[in-house]
Chain A
Amino acid sequence: MTALAAVAIGVVSLQWVVLLVIAAVAIAGALVVVLHRSPVVGAMGLVTNLLCVAGIYVLLNAYFFAALQVIIYAGAVVVLITFVIMLLNLRPEARGGPGLVPIGLAVLLGLALIVVLGRPLLEFSAPTAEAVAPEFGSVRQVGEALFTEYFYPFLAVSLALLSAMVGAVLLAKRHLED
Protein backbone atom coordinates (compact mmCIF):
# COMPACT_ATOMS: atom_id res chain seq x y z
CA MET A 1 0.00 0.00 0.00
CA THR A 2 2.70 2.49 0.96
CA ALA A 3 4.72 1.53 -2.12
CA LEU A 4 1.70 2.19 -4.31
CA ALA A 5 1.13 5.54 -2.64
CA ALA A 6 4.78 6.47 -3.20
CA VAL A 7 4.50 5.62 -6.87
CA ALA A 8 1.34 7.67 -7.07
CA ILE A 9 3.08 10.63 -5.42
CA GLY A 10 6.05 10.11 -7.73
CA VAL A 11 3.77 10.23 -10.76
CA VAL A 12 2.16 13.43 -9.58
CA SER A 13 5.45 15.18 -9.04
CA LEU A 14 6.79 13.93 -12.38
CA GLN A 15 3.81 15.57 -14.11
CA TRP A 16 4.54 18.78 -12.25
CA VAL A 17 8.20 18.69 -13.23
CA VAL A 18 7.34 18.17 -16.89
CA LEU A 19 4.77 20.97 -16.80
CA LEU A 20 7.17 23.39 -15.11
CA VAL A 21 10.00 22.66 -17.55
CA ILE A 22 7.73 23.11 -20.58
CA ALA A 23 6.24 26.28 -19.11
CA ALA A 24 9.70 27.72 -18.44
CA VAL A 25 10.82 27.04 -22.02
CA ALA A 26 7.55 28.50 -23.34
CA ILE A 27 8.06 31.71 -21.36
CA ALA A 28 11.69 31.90 -22.50
CA GLY A 29 10.58 31.55 -26.13
CA ALA A 30 7.98 34.28 -25.69
CA LEU A 31 10.59 36.59 -24.14
CA VAL A 32 12.89 35.99 -27.11
CA VAL A 33 10.07 37.11 -29.42
CA VAL A 34 9.53 40.43 -27.66
CA LEU A 35 13.12 41.19 -26.64
CA HIS A 36 15.44 40.01 -29.41
CA ARG A 37 16.28 42.58 -32.05
CA SER A 38 16.53 40.16 -34.96
CA PRO A 39 13.11 39.16 -36.37
CA VAL A 40 14.36 35.73 -37.51
CA VAL A 41 15.55 34.86 -34.00
CA GLY A 42 12.21 36.17 -32.75
CA ALA A 43 10.36 33.87 -35.15
CA MET A 44 12.34 30.90 -33.83
CA GLY A 45 11.43 31.95 -30.29
CA LEU A 46 7.82 31.95 -31.40
CA VAL A 47 8.16 28.41 -32.78
CA THR A 48 9.69 27.27 -29.49
CA ASN A 49 6.81 28.82 -27.60
CA LEU A 50 4.18 27.28 -29.89
CA LEU A 51 5.74 23.82 -29.68
CA CYS A 52 5.85 24.04 -25.89
CA VAL A 53 2.19 25.05 -25.75
CA ALA A 54 1.45 22.05 -28.02
CA GLY A 55 3.31 19.94 -25.46
CA ILE A 56 1.03 21.32 -22.74
CA TYR A 57 -2.00 20.38 -24.86
CA VAL A 58 -0.64 16.83 -24.92
CA LEU A 59 -0.36 16.94 -21.11
CA LEU A 60 -4.01 18.05 -21.10
CA ASN A 61 -4.95 15.02 -23.30
CA ALA A 62 -6.01 17.34 -26.14
CA TYR A 63 -4.06 15.41 -28.78
CA PHE A 64 -6.06 16.62 -31.77
CA PHE A 65 -5.64 20.23 -30.76
CA ALA A 66 -1.92 19.75 -30.18
CA ALA A 67 -1.54 18.39 -33.71
CA LEU A 68 -3.54 21.31 -35.13
CA GLN A 69 -1.41 23.75 -33.16
CA VAL A 70 1.80 22.37 -34.64
CA ILE A 71 0.48 22.07 -38.20
CA ILE A 72 -1.29 25.43 -38.47
CA TYR A 73 0.67 27.68 -36.13
CA ALA A 74 4.20 26.32 -36.15
CA GLY A 75 4.06 24.72 -39.57
CA ALA A 76 2.21 27.32 -41.62
CA VAL A 77 1.89 30.69 -39.84
CA VAL A 78 5.48 30.95 -38.62
CA VAL A 79 6.87 29.61 -41.90
CA LEU A 80 4.91 32.37 -43.64
CA ILE A 81 6.28 34.99 -41.25
CA THR A 82 9.82 33.72 -41.73
CA PHE A 83 9.30 33.74 -45.47
CA VAL A 84 8.30 37.40 -45.42
CA ILE A 85 11.21 38.33 -43.14
CA MET A 86 13.60 36.68 -45.59
CA LEU A 87 11.82 38.13 -48.61
CA LEU A 88 12.16 41.68 -47.28
CA ASN A 89 15.66 40.83 -46.01
CA LEU A 90 14.95 42.57 -42.70
CA ARG A 91 17.95 43.49 -40.59
CA PRO A 92 17.84 43.57 -36.79
CA GLU A 93 16.01 46.60 -35.47
CA ALA A 94 18.17 49.59 -34.62
CA ARG A 95 18.98 50.01 -30.97
CA GLY A 96 17.31 52.73 -28.98
CA GLY A 97 13.75 51.61 -29.36
CA PRO A 98 10.89 53.52 -27.82
CA GLY A 99 12.89 54.81 -24.86
CA LEU A 100 12.83 53.90 -21.20
CA VAL A 101 9.63 55.62 -20.13
CA PRO A 102 7.21 53.71 -22.41
CA ILE A 103 9.01 50.45 -21.65
CA GLY A 104 8.80 51.11 -17.94
CA LEU A 105 5.11 51.90 -18.32
CA ALA A 106 4.63 48.68 -20.32
CA VAL A 107 6.35 46.64 -17.61
CA LEU A 108 4.16 48.24 -14.96
CA LEU A 109 1.05 47.62 -17.03
CA GLY A 110 2.13 44.01 -17.54
CA LEU A 111 2.64 43.41 -13.83
CA ALA A 112 -0.72 44.99 -13.13
CA LEU A 113 -2.31 42.72 -15.73
CA ILE A 114 -0.74 39.64 -14.15
CA VAL A 115 -2.09 40.64 -10.75
CA VAL A 116 -5.53 41.58 -12.03
CA LEU A 117 -5.96 38.58 -14.31
CA GLY A 118 -3.99 36.10 -12.25
CA ARG A 119 -5.75 36.43 -8.91
CA PRO A 120 -9.23 35.29 -10.01
CA LEU A 121 -7.70 32.62 -12.22
CA LEU A 122 -5.87 31.04 -9.31
CA GLU A 123 -9.09 31.05 -7.35
CA PHE A 124 -10.89 29.41 -10.26
CA SER A 125 -13.79 27.67 -8.63
CA ALA A 126 -15.97 26.03 -11.29
CA PRO A 127 -16.69 22.39 -10.47
CA THR A 128 -13.78 20.43 -11.87
CA ALA A 129 -13.21 16.74 -12.13
CA GLU A 130 -9.80 15.21 -12.37
CA ALA A 131 -10.18 11.92 -14.25
CA VAL A 132 -10.33 12.65 -17.94
CA ALA A 133 -13.26 11.38 -19.98
CA PRO A 134 -12.13 8.72 -22.47
CA GLU A 135 -13.35 10.55 -25.56
CA PHE A 136 -11.88 13.95 -24.57
CA GLY A 137 -9.50 15.38 -27.16
CA SER A 138 -10.50 12.90 -29.86
CA VAL A 139 -11.06 14.08 -33.41
CA ARG A 140 -14.61 12.71 -33.35
CA GLN A 141 -15.70 14.68 -30.29
CA VAL A 142 -14.26 17.99 -31.51
CA GLY A 143 -15.59 17.41 -35.01
CA GLU A 144 -19.10 16.66 -33.83
CA ALA A 145 -19.22 19.81 -31.70
CA LEU A 146 -17.77 21.86 -34.57
CA PHE A 147 -20.34 20.73 -37.12
CA THR A 148 -23.44 20.74 -34.92
CA GLU A 149 -23.38 23.13 -31.98
CA TYR A 150 -20.79 25.48 -33.47
CA PHE A 151 -21.90 25.26 -37.08
CA TYR A 152 -22.63 28.98 -37.61
CA PRO A 153 -19.40 30.21 -35.98
CA PHE A 154 -17.59 27.69 -38.16
CA LEU A 155 -19.31 29.07 -41.25
CA ALA A 156 -18.52 32.65 -40.22
CA VAL A 157 -14.86 31.79 -39.72
CA SER A 158 -14.70 30.15 -43.15
CA LEU A 159 -16.07 33.34 -44.70
CA ALA A 160 -13.58 35.40 -42.69
CA LEU A 161 -10.75 33.22 -44.00
CA LEU A 162 -11.99 33.59 -47.56
CA SER A 163 -12.23 37.37 -47.33
CA ALA A 164 -8.79 37.51 -45.68
CA MET A 165 -7.38 35.50 -48.57
CA VAL A 166 -8.89 37.81 -51.16
CA GLY A 167 -7.75 40.85 -49.18
CA ALA A 168 -4.19 39.56 -48.87
CA VAL A 169 -3.94 38.92 -52.59
CA LEU A 170 -5.34 42.36 -53.34
CA LEU A 171 -2.97 44.11 -50.91
CA ALA A 172 0.12 42.29 -52.08
CA LYS A 173 -0.55 42.97 -55.76
CA ARG A 174 1.70 45.68 -57.14
CA HIS A 175 -0.76 47.25 -59.56
CA LEU A 176 -4.43 46.57 -59.55
CA GLU A 177 -4.71 46.75 -63.32
CA ASP A 178 -2.77 43.57 -64.12
Chain B
Amino acid sequence: MVGDPGPYLLLATILFVIGAFGVISRRGAITILMSIELMLNSANLALVAVSRFLPAAGQGAGIPDGQVIGFLVLAIAAAEVAVGLAIVIAMFRLRESVDVDLARLLRW
Protein backbone atom coordinates (compact mmCIF):
# COMPACT_ATOMS: atom_id res chain seq x y z
CA MET B 1 0.00 0.00 0.00
CA VAL B 2 1.19 3.47 -0.83
CA GLY B 3 1.09 4.62 2.75
CA ASP B 4 0.56 8.38 2.73
CA PRO B 5 -1.23 10.98 0.60
CA GLY B 6 2.01 12.56 -0.69
CA PRO B 7 2.17 10.96 -4.15
CA TYR B 8 -1.55 11.52 -4.73
CA LEU B 9 -1.24 15.17 -3.76
CA LEU B 10 1.71 15.60 -6.10
CA LEU B 11 -0.33 14.13 -8.94
CA ALA B 12 -3.23 16.43 -8.06
CA THR B 13 -0.88 19.41 -8.17
CA ILE B 14 0.46 18.45 -11.58
CA LEU B 15 -3.06 18.01 -12.97
CA PHE B 16 -4.12 21.33 -11.48
CA VAL B 17 -1.19 23.11 -13.09
CA ILE B 18 -1.90 21.52 -16.47
CA GLY B 19 -5.50 22.71 -16.19
CA ALA B 20 -4.41 26.21 -15.21
CA PHE B 21 -2.03 26.25 -18.16
CA GLY B 22 -4.92 25.33 -20.47
CA VAL B 23 -7.08 28.15 -19.14
CA ILE B 24 -4.29 30.68 -19.67
CA SER B 25 -2.98 29.54 -23.02
CA ARG B 26 -6.05 28.47 -25.01
CA ARG B 27 -8.62 30.59 -26.80
CA GLY B 28 -11.40 28.10 -27.54
CA ALA B 29 -14.15 28.55 -24.96
CA ILE B 30 -14.87 24.82 -24.77
CA THR B 31 -11.22 23.91 -24.25
CA ILE B 32 -11.12 26.46 -21.44
CA LEU B 33 -14.18 24.83 -19.87
CA MET B 34 -12.51 21.43 -20.11
CA SER B 35 -9.35 22.81 -18.49
CA ILE B 36 -11.45 24.15 -15.62
CA GLU B 37 -12.89 20.65 -15.25
CA LEU B 38 -9.33 19.32 -14.97
CA MET B 39 -8.62 21.76 -12.16
CA LEU B 40 -11.80 20.92 -10.22
CA ASN B 41 -11.08 17.26 -10.70
CA SER B 42 -7.57 17.57 -9.30
CA ALA B 43 -8.96 19.33 -6.24
CA ASN B 44 -11.29 16.35 -5.73
CA LEU B 45 -8.37 13.96 -6.00
CA ALA B 46 -6.53 15.85 -3.27
CA LEU B 47 -9.61 15.89 -1.02
CA VAL B 48 -10.28 12.17 -1.34
CA ALA B 49 -6.62 11.23 -0.96
CA VAL B 50 -6.24 13.19 2.28
CA SER B 51 -9.51 11.93 3.75
CA ARG B 52 -8.47 8.35 2.98
CA PHE B 53 -5.39 8.60 5.20
CA LEU B 54 -6.73 10.63 8.12
CA PRO B 55 -7.46 8.43 11.14
CA ALA B 56 -11.08 7.38 11.48
CA ALA B 57 -13.22 7.64 14.61
CA GLY B 58 -13.07 3.89 15.12
CA GLN B 59 -10.10 1.81 14.00
CA GLY B 60 -8.06 2.25 10.86
CA ALA B 61 -7.99 5.28 8.58
CA GLY B 62 -10.45 7.08 6.37
CA ILE B 63 -13.08 9.74 7.06
CA PRO B 64 -15.97 10.51 4.72
CA ASP B 65 -15.54 14.31 4.75
CA GLY B 66 -13.26 14.49 1.72
CA GLN B 67 -15.67 12.46 -0.35
CA VAL B 68 -18.62 14.56 0.76
CA ILE B 69 -16.90 17.81 -0.20
CA GLY B 70 -15.82 16.15 -3.43
CA PHE B 71 -19.44 15.24 -4.07
CA LEU B 72 -20.44 18.89 -3.67
CA VAL B 73 -17.64 19.87 -6.07
CA LEU B 74 -18.97 17.36 -8.60
CA ALA B 75 -22.40 18.96 -8.43
CA ILE B 76 -20.96 22.46 -8.83
CA ALA B 77 -18.82 21.28 -11.76
CA ALA B 78 -21.93 19.92 -13.47
CA ALA B 79 -23.74 23.23 -12.91
CA GLU B 80 -20.74 25.16 -14.19
CA VAL B 81 -20.61 23.11 -17.38
CA ALA B 82 -24.33 23.52 -18.01
CA VAL B 83 -24.19 27.31 -17.70
CA GLY B 84 -20.82 27.54 -19.46
CA LEU B 85 -22.02 25.57 -22.46
CA ALA B 86 -25.22 27.64 -22.65
CA ILE B 87 -23.06 30.78 -22.77
CA VAL B 88 -20.86 29.20 -25.44
CA ILE B 89 -23.92 28.40 -27.56
CA ALA B 90 -25.31 31.92 -27.13
CA MET B 91 -21.94 33.37 -28.07
CA PHE B 92 -21.64 31.10 -31.10
CA ARG B 93 -24.98 32.40 -32.34
CA LEU B 94 -23.70 35.97 -32.24
CA ARG B 95 -20.12 35.53 -33.45
CA GLU B 96 -20.04 32.22 -35.38
CA SER B 97 -17.00 31.37 -33.26
CA VAL B 98 -16.12 30.26 -29.74
CA ASP B 99 -12.87 32.23 -29.62
CA VAL B 100 -12.91 34.04 -26.26
CA ASP B 101 -10.78 36.85 -27.71
CA LEU B 102 -13.80 37.85 -29.79
CA ALA B 103 -16.01 38.13 -26.72
CA ARG B 104 -14.51 41.19 -25.11
CA LEU B 105 -17.33 43.60 -25.82
CA LEU B 106 -19.92 44.04 -23.12
CA ARG B 107 -22.54 44.85 -25.74
CA TRP B 108 -23.14 43.90 -29.35
Contacts and interface: CB of A to CB of B under 8 A. Distances in A.
Contacts of B17: 110-111, 113-114, 117
A27 B21 CA distance: 13
A3 interface: no
Interface of B is mostly: helix
Given A56-B11, A146-B68, A150-B72, A136 B56 contact: yes
Contacts of B80: 164
A142 B82 contact: no
B5 A128 contact: yes
Nearest to A40: B30
Contacts of B68: 142, 145-146, 149-150
B interface residue count range (under 10 / 10 to 19 / 20 to 34 / 35 or more): 35 or more
B62 A136 contact: yes
A interface residue count range (under 10 / 10 to 19 / 20 to 34 / 35 or more): 35 or more
Nearest to B64: A145
Select the residue from B26, B62, B79, B92 with max chain A CB neighbours within 10 A.
Answer: B62
A128 B67 contact: no
B34 A43 contact: yes
A60 B8 contact: yes
Interface of B: 1-11, 13-22, 24-28, 30-31, 33-35, 37-38, 41, 44-45, 48-50, 52-56, 58-65, 67-72, 74-83, 85-90, 92-93, 98-99
21 contacts: A27-B11, A27-B14, A30-B18, A30-B38, A42-B31, A56-B45, A60-B48, A62-B67, A65-B48, A81-B85, A84-B89, A88-B89, A88-B92, A113-B16, A114-B13, A127-B55, A130-B61, A131-B59, A158-B75, A164-B79, A168-B83
